[in-house]
Structure 1
Amino acid sequence: MASVRRVTSVRRLDSLAAEEPLEIRTGVAGPGRRRPLTVTMRTPGDDLDLAIGFLLTEGLIRSADDVVTAQLCAGAETPNTYNVVDVVLAADVPTPQVDPARNFYTTSSCGVCGKASIDAVRTRSRYDLTTDQLVVPASTLATLPDRLRSAQRGFDRTGGLHAAGLFTAAGKLVVLREDVGRHNAVDKVIGWAVRQRRLPLHGHMLLVSGRASFELTQKAWMAGVPLLAAVSAPSTLAVDLATEAGMTLVGFLRGSTMNVYAGANRVRT
């Protein structure tokens, strides 16, 4: 005779990861109004870092000196919903042109979606990673996921946020950012580094909580990061780009195991 299990239900409050649109507006200093550049779906918080990081990784600015001000804006036409960032660029910075074929609108799941082609996002970095002398013991790399996970306060509450963490060569966490979008978490880290005038990030490692995509590899290259690690798989284009850039790319970094797909000379076993 089959046993019968009693099923019960419980109602309770649950914490969910916030997801809201963020519009980034740019323009040079002066009386002219800033023009909308992009809208991205993100988790509110560290929005100035996100905006500055996006501009840097898209090749629209080169350093903190290219930004006069960056602020959450409000006014008669823009109620202060904290979902618009206004960035005033220095006078000598070319005004970003919105290319309809490129389509800067991004979602939280895939920042590269909507781009016309891979060539449209292959922005060349100003940093030569082949000269970076970073060498990291594999045993140090193996400790990074646990250190990243232990610092993820938002993930503890919601279980729905990606994370990106910047580490020193010794494995010390420098800064961590969380977001519903992997690319946003990386932009927040890089934007923080831009505002702190830490670029290029030579001698540092960037760890992402998901997979290593082409876009995340490009963002790391734009910031001068010599080693990108992910707890999941890389894509073929990510490996190709890391090889081209002279970057070390590590995937499936879990426990004591990892796969090194490019730049194995920086990982000491």
Structure 2
Amino acid sequence: MVSATLRTLVVSTALVAGSISLPAWAEDSSYTTKDLNEQLVMANLWMQASAEFKALSYQAFNLAKMRFDSYANAHSGTKKIAIVVDADETIIDNSAYEAWLVGRNEGYSGKTWGEWMNAAEAKALPGAVDFLSYVAQQGGEIFYLTNRKVSGLEGTRENLKALGFPQVDDEHLMLRTTTSDKEPRRMKVAEKYDIALLMGDNLHDFSKDFNTKSLAQSYAAVEKNKALFGTQFIILPNPTYGDWEGKVYDGNWGASAAEKDKMRKAHLDPWQPKQ
């Protein structure tokens, strides 16, 4: 624990030297989850308020339509064409749940997330319903491959149907059962269909290549598959949460709010002005 006297000494010395950088001197006893949740503000504000976020969503689905048409025009196989889409932050927007955490001394939990799913109040991302409706009209199959647990099936189905998404039924809605690894479910779709596109907001929505344990491994997997982004893989922007965050914590999701704050800031690459 850093004493108030020591902190005052460090700050005073930095001021005399003519430069100062004040990181959050987070202490386990004083830095809370409520404090950490303040870091959600800008990401959620961008998702909910910026026209740029909407534009990026339209861009993704415009590109998806072009790639789907290109694949369909060149398709000569005997299987029907399908696309595989994630749900959360890919076709529906859960930023309201993340924004609800701001100002509260609690983080994500299965209980409150379950209440959010059952409320069926997520909004459609711009362009998502139009694109998936187009795919269905062209005879394509749509598989909603999400890691929402089956306990959220009814709320998820109600939410997607109310928003106008097509083919929301037991065959096409593939929630998580025994594993969060999406590869077995992707392979199940591939047994009967030729997959034209995969869409998601996390890298593990696309391939088993991205079932990585570190940031370095994720970077390497992206390099290996870079030609597929924008062609077979289309990724949506999600700055609020994801598999990448766990890698920042070296897999330690149970770290305290203070520890998470420190690990997040340790991964920043700040500018260093010349003295």
| TM value normalised by structure 1 | 0.22
| TM value normalised by structure 2 | 0.22
More helix by share: 2
Task: Report 1 or 2 for greater relative contact order, CA contacts < 8 Å, sequence distance ≥ 6.
Answer: 2
Larger radius of gyration: 2
